[in-house]
Amino acid sequence: MGTLVGHLLPGVGLLAFAVYYSWLTSLALLRKQMVLKHPLLPRKLLGRRLFGQISYEAMVKVVVSALGILGEYFYPLGVNRLKMIDWKDPRRLFVFKDNWQHVTMFGFFFLSGIVDIVSHAQPARWSVKLERAAEALAFYVLVLLMITHIENKGALEIRVHLLLLLPAFLIALVLTVEIWVPDNAPLWVIKSWMGLVLSTWMLQICEMYIPFTGQPWKAENPMDLAFVTIFFCWHMALGVALLVGIYSLCSFWHHRFSSWTKTLGAKYQRCAMESSGEELEKLNAEAVPQDGGV
């Protein structure tokens, strides 16, 4: 991840997932749902006998994590980083440290996706708790790996990655609380907010590789380091603004759709043929034209 592409791809993926989760949270709050419902893949795509119901979230975790693992090992084409120890060197040094860290991170998110699939196939009381525990474990692993990832780095990279740890740790903490306190609306909101902050800050790191000003960021400049923290605070406010915007759009769609369905339901109503004789006589009387009428 120490390149522009290495931060851009995870940032875009995290942003898409955070927007998706914020959308689900907004609709759940508008509909006053007690449980956060995740859309499921159609059974026709999976086969009724082979798979049970699988959510889009679980499938995205598995596919994206698998692609990330393959990319760490074999991208660009022609390279092979499956080797962990250089056996040709008498000192038996470890090699490709960063890649193995990223593979470990992707591997735990892949495990979280597998747990989601198994949980949906065999629903039980403890299924949701198991899903939250696996997802929390993935974020805790992310925090641990990022702490070691910044070793032997410059002051600027250390600062931006330490700030990246804050939303990741808070997400892991919220997921841990959800193991014992599931289906809690405030926790949904906090998790959505921190997901937006995590993803937008990941994209902000990309700007440090290609600065808008044309001048590279300097780790030895105290002003640059100070503005890194200022920008992160702005990203926290940006996360709130994005969450409010998503909620507003969902609210507009929800009320528009609800009013449309109510109008449609009120317009088309069949008359019950088994109604009492008095009701039928009343309807027939209304149908007879009045004197002087057209």
* 263 pLDDT more than 70: no
What is the gyration radius of the CA atoms in the chain, in angstroms?
27
The residue ranking higher by pLDDT, 242 or 117, is: 242
**Vertex 137 angle, CA 132 and 141, to 5°:** 150
Query: Do the beta carbons of residue 201 and residue 164 sit within 8 Å?
Result: yes
Please state, in angstroms and rounded to a whole number, the distance separating the CA atoms of residues 92 and 80.
18
The predicted pLDDT at position 292 comes to 43
- pLDDT tens-digit map of 234-247: 999 999 999 999 99
The predicted pLDDT at position 43 comes to 61
Query: Do the beta carbons of residue 142 and residue 182 sit within 8 Å?
Result: no
Q: What is the 3-state secondary structure (H, E, C) of 232-291?
A: HHHHHHHHHHHHHHHHHHHHHHHHHHHHHHHHHHHHCCCCCCCCCHHHHHHHHHHHCCCC
Please state, in angstroms and rounded to a whole number, the distance separating the CA atoms of residues 243 and 200.
12
How many percent of the chain have pLDDT more than 90?
30
Place of tokens 């109604």: 275
The residue ranking higher by pLDDT, 204 or 123, is: 204
* 139 pLDDT more than 70: yes
Query: Tokens standing for 266?
Result: 């009120």
- pLDDT tens-digit map of 36-71: 777 777 665 555 554 557 777 888 888 888 888 888
Burial of 178: CB neighbours in 10 Å, binned 0-12, 13-18, 19+: buried
Please state, in angstroms and rounded to a whole number, the distance separating the CA atoms of residues 280 and 272.
10
Backbone angles phi, psi at 40, to 5 degrees: -110, 150
Query: Tokens standing for 116?
Result: 């989601």
Average pLDDT over residues 245-264: 76
If we measure between CA atoms, which residue out of 157, 107, 140, 154 comes closest to residue 1? 157
Please state, in angstroms and rounded to a whole number, the distance separating the CA atoms of residues 130 and 145.
23
**pTM metric for this prediction:** 0.79
Please state, in angstroms and rounded to a whole number, the distance separating the CA atoms of residues 181 and 187.
9
Place of tokens 């942003």: 15
- pLDDT tens-digit map of 66-116: 888 888 888 777 777 888 888 888 888 888 888 888 889 889 999 999 998
Query: 76 preceded by cis ω (within 30°)?
Result: yes
Highest mean pLDDT among 68-72, 132-136, 201-205: 132-136
